[in-house]
Structure 1
Amino acid sequence: MSLFGAMTTGISGLRSNGLGLSVVSDNIANFNTVGFKQSRVVFGDLVASISASNGGGAGSFIMNTQSLWSQGAINQTVNPLDMAIQGDGLFVLNADNGITYYSRAGQFMLNKDGYLVNPLNYKVQGYGFDASGLPTGKLGNIQLSNLTSTPIATSELQLGINLDSQTSIKTWSATDPNTTTGEVSTASFNHSNSLYVYDSLGNKQLVKTYYTKTAVSSSGSTWELRFVYNTGTEANPAFVALGPVQLNFDTNGNLTQDITQQLSFNWAATIGAVTPQIMNLSIKKDDAKQWRSPADQKVLKSNGRGAGSAIASSISQNGIISVIFSNGDRRDVAQIALSEFANYDGLIRTGDNLFLPSYDSGEALVGTPGSSKRGTIFGNALEMSNVDLADEFVKMIQLQRGFQASSKVITTADALTGEVMNLIR
């Protein structure tokens, strides 16, 4: 190898080690970048055609810059819409210009239109669910605003009661309740309570319950249960009593048989709710007692509910987004889509934590988390970069030494060239 060849070799070392330092610097700079995948340079040796015959080399060059797709650490966050992928796959994001990008960064939020987006306002793609919480299988944008839970009219009512055994017999008056005020004379009942039911529009309707002890015998006691409610409106009330439901207790204070009875509530036509509203009343023997203790009533089961608005959300490991509503309802509304590739190293890095497919990566294969080779989703979490700072600092020192050694080759070859030039003088 000539002295000029040595200089050329040294220059190639400067170039390749300098590019290696750039890659290491990029890794270190992105240590805190969510979802970042570190890169490494692959060095190759140069052999000139003249040098090849005598076994000499011509330096080095960068064959490739390779992305390393090892798993990054998953950290918990306070944002319920943050997501981290455990395993293979990338989130699918649609930009406004129609280009589909792919990313490991799960820093998501809702935009002004209620769509789930990344910080660039690219829409996260997922599979839709219908109003009943059943999957539609259709891939598209995920919109989480203006979600409501439909009201359900109460159709099942199960009560648990205790009636004071020491109360006296009374008779329900035909003039009760007062149709205007709903008041009931104390001479008509022994115990009273109240509960709420829902009509078909989600209106919360107050229903008062009255228990009247009507008979005592050697075999036990008999009570009557009535439901007083308003068939009119607040401005024009019209209270009526529904019942009676007969309750028979034995001498041990136990209900002699389970009670099942249909109740028919007729709401005011001006409310607009379904009327009559049929409600199945249930009082089981184990839930009804007549003991010497203060009277009590508990609603053990009531399936009605009012309309609800979304108040919280959660994300399962298979990427299903569930919304919790103010009325206690919980419904699946969407499922995050993940894309897998035959060769992740072939993806094109475009910046902003985004990638595009290439011929080398193969086409995007979109599906649900946990299916095929796709990973799972962690909500309230983000995947950090997979950069190992200690490893990067070691690489930096190695590349620095390589750069210094290459520069030394150049200065040495330059000095020797000067000596040769001096021989001519």
Structure 2
Amino acid sequence: MSLYGVLRSGVSGMNAQSNKLGTVAENIQNSSTTGYKRASTEFSSLILPSSEGNYNSGSVTSRVRYTIADQGPIAYTTSGSDLAISGNGFFVVSDPSGSPYLTRAGNFVKDGRTGNLINAAGFTLMGYKLGTEAVDPSLNSLDGVEPVNMASFGMQATGSTAGTFKGNLPFGQPVAVAAGTPTPPTVAPPVAGSVLFSAPTVSRGAQIAFSVGGGANQYFDVTTQKTPAEVATAINAAVTAGTLTGVNASTNAAGDLILTSTVSPTTTSVTGSFTSVSKASSLQVYDKVGNPIKIDISLSKIDADTWTISVFNGSDPSAPFTGTTAMELNFDADGKLTGSGALGFNIPGGEAFSLDMTGMTQLAGEYNVTGSSNGNAPSAVKDVEFAADGTVYAVYEDGTRVGAYRIPLATVPSPDNLSPRAGNVYETTAASGGYQVGFPEMSGFGSIASGALEGSNVDIGTELTAMIEAQTSYTANSKVFQTGSELLDVLMNLKR
């Protein structure tokens, strides 16, 4: 072994340990950096050809490796825009020039200048826009991603298109159909046939059915009338308009409603029934520009297992709903709704609306119903919510949540071979492989936790131990170099 080989070995060893000390120092200074992944230095020997009688000293080569695939601890914060990935995957971010990178650093905040969500290193969170501008993502490409920018979601109003009305109708509710009291016609003295409804309870949704001389039933639905006298006036107006025939409506001092035949007073009888409202509710919806419209809902029990439901425009009775505004609800012996349970009608100035009542029952309990509808009044965005599946919701002042973006997660076949760049981001290399793109909680990708951050995967105790080891090895290699240098000086002095 030559003296130059000794010197070369000492220098090689010091350089290798110097690299190790460099990675240790970087790990320690980034032990509190969000999403930082530990670096380590691995050594391998470089052996030169030797003979039995002469050893040719080689050297040590070093290579820096990163434990990018190892997850750090997750700590919860008070900021809803802090995001952490639990499991596999990286956030897709971009630099100011638009170049994409991968990162696990999810400390995002809203940039006041652009409205984008950026992390502490200034990289912008990327996502796929939802709604009418949604695109189908590629499995191996980041085409179609754009900055997550909530500033583009200003004040908006959404017309209602669907709602639900469900709950229990009491089985013991009395039937709301009352037969009128008929007065038969007489000849001497002549008395016209009539039917009397004893002081009916008038409310929207009530219905009068009557027949003159045994003919077909005619119907009058109470809409805006509040008293029997108002009902009588409306019936007479309908007779004048030709929509009802053969009767004259009036009331007596007791408030009873009376329908008297006008066909042939001495030979024509009048029969009828009055269906009052058993229960009433209301539901608020919105037209296309966000004006609130109240749907008045009237329910009448017409026999043991049948109710009728009618809907009215409670905000503007002069603009009635069009379409199917009334139907029967039929229940079986178990109190379950049979047949279709939906009304389809049009909201004035709004959309076609479907009211779903499939969750309605008739059981021996109290009247207990709930209702809901989509749509919202004009409202501004006040907050942002992040779901575990990556959906970003714009939360409006009225509490409405609208899906705005969906954050993808990306990975590569070999994450530890990604190339680190400044700002705690990574870019792909030939060794790491290309992008594989998906969504949280799908296809092996992790989930997103809002209000949390992934910490560094550096362990300080391990790093301090590695630092002592590197220092010891560096000192030993320096002694080898020093000894070789002294022997070389002795050899040089022999020539003198």
> Considering the TM-score relative to the shorter chain, is it more than 0.5?
yes
Q: CA deviation at 1:17?
A: 1.5
Q: Which amino acid aligns with 1:385?
A: S
Match of 1:177 among 226, 242, 247: 226
Give the equivalent residue in structure 2 for 1:127. Answer: 128
2:282 equivalent to 1:195: yes
For each residue in 1:337-390, what CA deviation from the matched residue of structure 2 results, as whole angstroms up to 9, or x when unmatched? 41414x44443322210223334434x324114699863232223332222333
1:143 to 142, 148, 157: 148
Identify which of 366, 373, 378 aligns with 1:303: 373
- Letter aligned with residue 140 of structure 1: V
Q: What SS class does the counterpart of residue 479 from structure 2 fall into?
A: helix
The question of 1:77 aligning with 2:147 is answered no
**Fraction of identical pairs, as percent:** 20
Alignment of 1:253-402 (within 5 A): 272-273=349-350, 286-287=361-362, 298-307=368-377, 311-317=383-389, 319-322=390-393, 326=398, 331=403, 333-341=405-413, 343-362=414-433, 364-369=434-439, 375-380=445-450, 381-402=452-473
User: Residues of 2 paired with 1:2 and 1:259: CA distance?
Assistant: 97
* Cα displacement string for residues 179-236 of structure 1 (whole angstroms, at most 9, x for unaligned residues): xxxxxxxx799999663432423433346678999x9xxx99xx9999786665xxxx
CA displacement 1:39-79 (0-9 Å, x = unmatched):
22232445567899712415x34332222234123414243
Cα distance in 2 for residues equivalent to 1:371 and 1:288:
41
Task: Give the gaps of 5 or more residues in structure 1.
Answer: 179-186, 249-253
* Partner residue in 2 for 1:251: none
* 1:210-289 equivalences in 2 (<5 Å): 232=316, 272-273=349-350, 286-287=361-362
Count how many residue pairs are aligned between Structure 1 and Structure 2.
390
Higher radius of gyration, 1 or 2 = 2
How far apart, in 2, do the equivalents of 1:107 and 1:262 lie?
48
Counterpart of 1:110? 110
The code of the aligned residue for 2:284 comes to V
Q: Matched residue of 2:13: which SS?
A: helix
SS of 2:145's partner is: strand
8 Å Cα contact 1:90-1:104 kept in structure 2: yes
In 2, are the aligned partners of 1:210 and 1:227 still within 8 Å (CA)?
A: yes
**Secondary structure of the structure 2 residue equivalent to 1:139:** coil
Following superposition, the deviation at residue 32 of structure 1 comes to 1.8
Distance 1:156 1:170, change over 3 A: farther
Q: Distance in 2 between matches of 1:264 and 1:287?
A: 25
Worse-matched range after superposition: 319-328 or 107-116: 319-328
Deviation of 1:322 (Å): 4.8
* Deviation for aligned residue 1:144: 4.8
Give, in whole Å, the separation in 2 of the partners of 1:80 and 1:382: 11
